[in-house]
Structure 1
Amino acid sequence: MIEVDGLAVAVPARPLVDGVSFTLPAARTLALVGASGSGKTTTALALLGEHPPGARVTGRVTVAGHQVAPGQPPPPGTVGFIPQHPSAALNPVLRIGTVLRQLAVRHGTCVSEALGKARLPDDRDFLRRFPHQLSGGQQQRLVLAHTLLAKPSVIVADEPTTGQDAITRAEVAAELSGLGVAVVLLTHDLGLARELADHVVVLKDGRVVESGPAVLDAPRSEYARALVTARARTAETRMEPVPLLEIAALGTEILREVTLDVARGERLVVVGRSGSGKTTLARCVAGLRPWTSGTVRLAGRPLPRSPRRRSRADLARVQYAFQDARASFDPRRAVVEQVARTAVRLRGLAVPAAREDAFESLAALGLGREAARRRPDGLSGGELQRAALARALLAHPEVLICDEITSGLDPITQEEVLNLLTDLDVTLILISHDLSLAAMIADRVAVIHEGRLIEHGPAAQVLHRPLHPVTRALTGLPEESPFVP
C-alpha cells in the first residue's frame, strides 16, 4: 500500500528528512514518533506529494500503486489528511451540513454513514451548526468525516488526540482502529502508538533511529528509550494561602456560575471533556472573552471584562499561551520580532532591548538564535509552542494561563517545558486533558462539565478519590467503583 525508499527532503538552510524508508501494507497502521522537528510531518506530507517551497526531494514514494513526487500527487481521494488543528481545515462561513453534502455529491458517498463512523450525530440541529460551535473533539471527528467521504486508501492523521480528554481520546482511537484503511499516525502520544500501531518508526533530526513492531516496549536506541521514559519532575509547591485570583459566579452562554479561587503561587490544572467550558473560563480570566455575570478579581481588584478596557499592567499580569500556537503567530514576520513585541507593548522596553530579552527567553526554551530568526513556517509545531510560551513569559506575568500547551509536544520536550513551568515564580493555570500531567504538576485540580464546576480540591484527592461520575470516567475509574485508597 505504501512504500517509501530513501526519502530525502532538504531546504537551502538544512536537511529536513534524510534517507527515510518504510513500508505499510493495506489496512495496517504505522506510527511516526519523535521530537518536534524530527521530520514526521515532512515525511507524512510526502505521501501527498507536498513539500516545503524550494525543497530538493529525492527518493521514491509509492502510495496505492501510484508513484508520488513533487508536482505528481496521487489521484484525488487516494490519501486523506487529518491535521493536528482541525479548525484550520474547516470552512468557518459554511454550515457543517453544506460542506458534508458537497463532499458526498463529489465522491458519491453517504453523509450519514461518514458521520456514523466518526461518531457524530446526523440530525438537522447538528448539520446546521458552524464549525466554531463545536468543541475541539467534535471538530476533529468532523474532519475525519470529511476524509471518509472521499473513500481514501490511506489516511494520514497528524496528532489526532492532541488536546482530547481521556474519553474522547478513547473514541478517536476506536475510530481509527476500525476504518479498514492504511493509517499513518503522527503522534507524541506513545500510549496511542502502542495501542494502534502495527509498526513504529522513530525519527530524530530527519533520520530513522529505530523501527519495528515493538519499539516502544523494548527500545534499543538511547533516543527511543529517552522518549519512552521521559517524565517531568515534581516540584515543591510554593503556594501561599492568600487568594490571588478570585472568580465568583462567572456566567456566559457556556459557563454556569463558576466560583473558584486560585492562591498566589498555586499550580491549578483545569480538566474536563472537550466542549465542557475549560477554555471559555480561561479566556474570560485573561480578558479575551466577555462574560455576562459574575466577577473576576486579581489581588482584590476587579478586572474589566474586555481587553480593551484593561490597562497595560492588567494585560501583563495575566498572560495566555494558546493551544494552537501556529494560528497565534503572523506568518510573515520573524518569530523573535513577534515575541519581542510583548516586552515593547507591555513593559515599555525599547526594541533592541526587547529583542535581546526575546532571544534569551526563547533560548531558555530550547530555541537558538538561528531558529528564532525564522518565520513561523520554518519551525515545527512543538517549536512554535515553545515560542508562544516564551512570548507570554516575556510580559513577566503574575498569572500564566496555558491552554493545552504540552499536548503537541513529544515526551522529551514536554518534560523540559513542564520542568520549566514548575520552576517559574508565577501562579499557573493549566488547561489540560492529560491527567498524568495534572498528577505531576498540580497543587489542585478543578473539573468542569457542561459549564459547571463539578469537583475541585487537592490533586491527589480529585485524581485518586474522585467523587463525581464524570471525574471517575476521566480518570478511568468505573462509576460504581469504590474509592481508590
Structure 2
Amino acid sequence: MNPVAEVDGLRVEVAGSTLVDGVSLTARAGRITALVGPSGSGKTTTGRALLGEFPPGARVEGRIRTPGGGAVGYVPQHPAAVLNPARRAGALLRDIAARRGGTRREIRARVEHALRRAQLPDPAMVLRRYPHQLSGGQQQRVVIAQALLLGAKVIVADEPTTGQDPATKQGVAEALADVAAQGIAVVLLSHDLDVVRRLADEVVVLRAGRVVDRGPADVVLPTPAKPTAERSRSAVPSGGTRLEARGLVARHRTARGTVAVLHDITVSVAPGECLAVVGRSGSGKTTLGRCLAGLHSAYEGAVLLDGAPLPRGIRARTPAELAAVQYVFQDPKAAFDEHRPVLDQVARTAVRLRGADRDNARRTAAKILEELGLAADLTLRRPGALSGGELQRAALARALPAEPKVLICDEITSGLDAATRDVILTHLAGLRERDGLSLVFITHDRTAADVLADRTLVLDAGRVAMGGEHRIGVDVGG
C-alpha cells in the first residue's frame, strides 16, 4: 500500500517541556495505524501534527509529508469542540457536502448517506438538532460524517469510541473499517485496546513522547488487565436520601417545537452512595445529570437536596446550593477557559463558592491536583497544553474545592488508560468513605461501574429500563 502521510523524526517542545521526541510513522492507504500509550504520551500531539496543528509557542523539528496534498480529516476526542453550537447539524454537514457540487437533493442524499455510514440510525432527526441537543455519542458520529464528506485521504481519529455504549462503539469501529476499506488511511489514537486489537494493521506504542514499540496488535499489545481499584462499600450508610428527582419529564427545544427526552423519572441517591446511570448514546443519561445539576432547566417535576427543593436553573441557585451539587463534564476541554492556567481555574471554585481567599484556595487546589497525579509544573500551564487524560483529572479536581455533597460525573473515565482510570476511581472511592460524598456516575464503562457503583439505573429512550445484569437502583414514579 502506498504511503499517504509520513511523520519523520517529529520533535515538539513547549516552554522547555518535550511533548514528543523523535516520533516516526507511516500512514498507508487502506490501512489503520493505531497510536497507543498512557495519557500524556504524545498521541494527540502526533496526530494533530498531521493536520499541521501544534500547541501555541511550540518548537517543532522533523518532517511531515502528505504526498499528493490530500486533505486530512480529524475526528477529535471531544466532538463538541469542532461543532458550531449556533448551527444545526444538518446545516454544518450540508455546507461540507456542497463543496463537491450537485443539486440540493444530491447534497441531502450525500449527507444522509454519510450519517448512515457513521452509524446514526435516524439521520433526519439528527439533522434538525443543534449540537447541544445531541448526546456525546451522537456528536462523535456527526464529526465522523464530516470527515467522510470531506473525501480526505487520511483521517486522524482521536479516541473515537470515547464515552460510547458497546453497540455504538461497535458501529463506530465498523465505520472506521469501512473508511479504510475505501482506500483511506486511518490514524487511530486510542486507549481502547479492544478496538485497537480489532482494527489496527499496525500499532505504534508511545511513552513519554517516544516510540517504545511497534508492530502487529497481537504482538505488541499486552493481555487486558483487570482494574485494580476496589469497591468501597463501607462508605454507604444505612437509610437517608441525599439527592432525589421526582417525576422528572425533561424536554429539548427543536425547530418543530419541544421533544420529551426523559419520561417520568424518579430516582434517589443516599449519602456516600454511588448510583451508576447507564444506557445507549441518546438514552437521556446526560440530560438527567444536567437536570440534577441545574444545567438543564426545561423539565417538569422536582429535584430535592436533603429534602429541600432545588431551583431548576443554576442562576437561581445560591452559592451553597451550587457547591453542594457539582458536575464534571464529559468534555473537559469545553469546560475550561483556554487562556488561564489550570491551577487558577481549580482554585477559583473555592473562591467563588466557599468565599476562600486566593492563597488558601491555590494551596487547596494544588493539593487536590497532586492527589490526582498532576505535577505542579503541569498545573501552571493552560488547558491546551494538557493531554486528554490530564485534563479530565483536572476537571474532576476543579469540582472538589467546592466540598460538594453530590458529584455528578459524566463519562469521566471514557478514553482513559487503565492506570489513569484507576487513579480516578480510587480517589472517588476514598471521597465516599472519608466525606460521605454521593456520586451519580454516568457511564458506558461497565467495568468502572462494577468497581464503584452500589446501584445502577438503566435508561432506554428516556425511560427506566427494568432489567439488565445489575439491580436497578430506582423508584419508578407512577
Normalising by structure 1, we get a TM-score of 0.87
Deviations 1:185-229 (A, max 9, x none): 01111111111111111111100111110367654xxxxx7xx42
**Using a 3 Å threshold, how does the CA distance of structure 1 residues 369 and 230 change in structure 2: closer, same or farther?**
farther
Work out the number of aligned pairs and report it.
Answer: 445
d(CA) in 2 for partners of 1:37 and 1:247? 38
Residue equivalent to 2:266: 259
Whether the aligned pair in 2 keeps the contact of 1:30 and 1:200 (CA below 8 Å) is: yes
d(CA) in 1 for partners of 2:207 and 2:220? 18
Whether the aligned pair in 2 keeps the contact of 1:200 and 1:215 (CA below 8 Å) is: no
C-alpha displacement of 1:118: 1.9
Is 1:16–2:19 an aligned residue pair? yes
d(CA) in 2 for partners of 1:284 and 1:384? 24
**Using a 3 Å threshold, how does the CA distance of structure 1 residues 147 and 396 change in structure 2: closer, same or farther?**
same
In structure 2, give the amino acid aligned to 1:311: T
Task: Please show how residues 26-425 of structure 1 align to structure 2 within 5 Å.
Answer: 26-63=29-66, 65-66=67-68, 74-75=69-70, 78-108=71-101, 110-120=110-120, 126-179=126-179, 180=181, 181-214=184-217, 219=222, 228-229=224-225, 231-237=227-233, 238-242=235-239, 243-253=241-251, 254-425=261-432
d(CA) in 2 for partners of 1:214 and 1:252? 44
Deviations 1:106-138 (A, max 9, x none): 134733432332233686554333333322222
Deviations 1:255-313 (A, max 9, x none): 11101121221111100111111111111111222253222222222222222232222
**Using a 3 Å threshold, how does the CA distance of structure 1 residues 332 and 257 change in structure 2: closer, same or farther?**
same
Whether the aligned pair in 2 keeps the contact of 1:329 and 1:338 (CA below 8 Å) is: yes
d(CA) in 1 for partners of 2:247 and 2:409? 22
In structure 2, give the amino acid aligned to 1:438: A
In structure 1, give the amino acid aligned to 2:364: D
C-alpha displacement of 1:365: 0.6
Whether the aligned pair in 1 keeps the contact of 2:191 and 2:417 (CA below 8 Å) is: yes
**Unmatched segments (≥5 aa) in structure 1:** 67-73, 220-224, 464-485
Deviations 1:421-478 (A, max 9, x none): 1111311111001112111211111101111122379x75469xxxxxxxxxxxxxxx
**Using a 3 Å threshold, how does the CA distance of structure 1 residues 340 and 456 change in structure 2: closer, same or farther?**
farther
**Using a 3 Å threshold, how does the CA distance of structure 1 residues 59 and 461 change in structure 2: closer, same or farther?**
same
**Using a 3 Å threshold, how does the CA distance of structure 1 residues 218 and 291 change in structure 2: closer, same or farther?**
closer
Residue equivalent to 2:449: 438
**Using a 3 Å threshold, how does the CA distance of structure 1 residues 45 and 292 change in structure 2: closer, same or farther?**
closer
d(CA) in 1 for partners of 2:88 and 2:232? 49
d(CA) in 2 for partners of 1:43 and 1:185? 11
Aligned with 1:178: secondary structure? helix
Deviations 1:16-75 (A, max 9, x none): 111112223211111111111111011111212222233222223233x25xxxxxxx44
Whether the aligned pair in 2 keeps the contact of 1:445 and 1:456 (CA below 8 Å) is: no
d(CA) in 2 for partners of 1:125 and 1:301? 37
Residue equivalent to 1:481: none
In structure 1, give the amino acid aligned to 2:167: I
**Using a 3 Å threshold, how does the CA distance of structure 1 residues 460 and 147 change in structure 2: closer, same or farther?**
closer
Q: RMSD over aligned Cα, in angstroms?
A: 2.1
Whether the aligned pair in 2 keeps the contact of 1:20 and 1:208 (CA below 8 Å) is: yes
**Using a 3 Å threshold, how does the CA distance of structure 1 residues 53 and 315 change in structure 2: closer, same or farther?**
closer
d(CA) in 1 for partners of 2:405 and 2:424? 18
Whether the aligned pair in 1 keeps the contact of 2:159 and 2:190 (CA below 8 Å) is: yes
d(CA) in 2 for partners of 1:398 and 1:25? 51
Residue equivalent to 1:5: 8
Larger deviation, residues 336-345 vs 97-106: 97-106
- Aligned partner (choices 438, 450, 475) of residue 427 of structure 1: 438
Residue equivalent to 2:254: none
**Using a 3 Å threshold, how does the CA distance of structure 1 residues 80 and 287 change in structure 2: closer, same or farther?**
same
Deviations 1:123-157 (A, max 9, x none): 65543333333222222121111111121111100
d(CA) in 1 for partners of 2:331 and 2:88? 22
d(CA) in 2 for partners of 1:271 and 1:124? 25
d(CA) in 1 for partners of 2:219 and 2:193? 8
In structure 2, give the amino acid aligned to 1:89: V
d(CA) in 2 for partners of 1:404 and 1:444? 17
Whether the aligned pair in 2 keeps the contact of 1:107 and 1:149 (CA below 8 Å) is: no
**Using a 3 Å threshold, how does the CA distance of structure 1 residues 21 and 320 change in structure 2: closer, same or farther?**
same
Greater RCO structure (CA 8 Å; 6+ sep): 2
d(CA) in 2 for partners of 1:268 and 1:153? 44
Deviations 1:334-353 (A, max 9, x none): 11111111111222211111
C-alpha displacement of 1:100: 2.5
**Using a 3 Å threshold, how does the CA distance of structure 1 residues 291 and 240 change in structure 2: closer, same or farther?**
farther
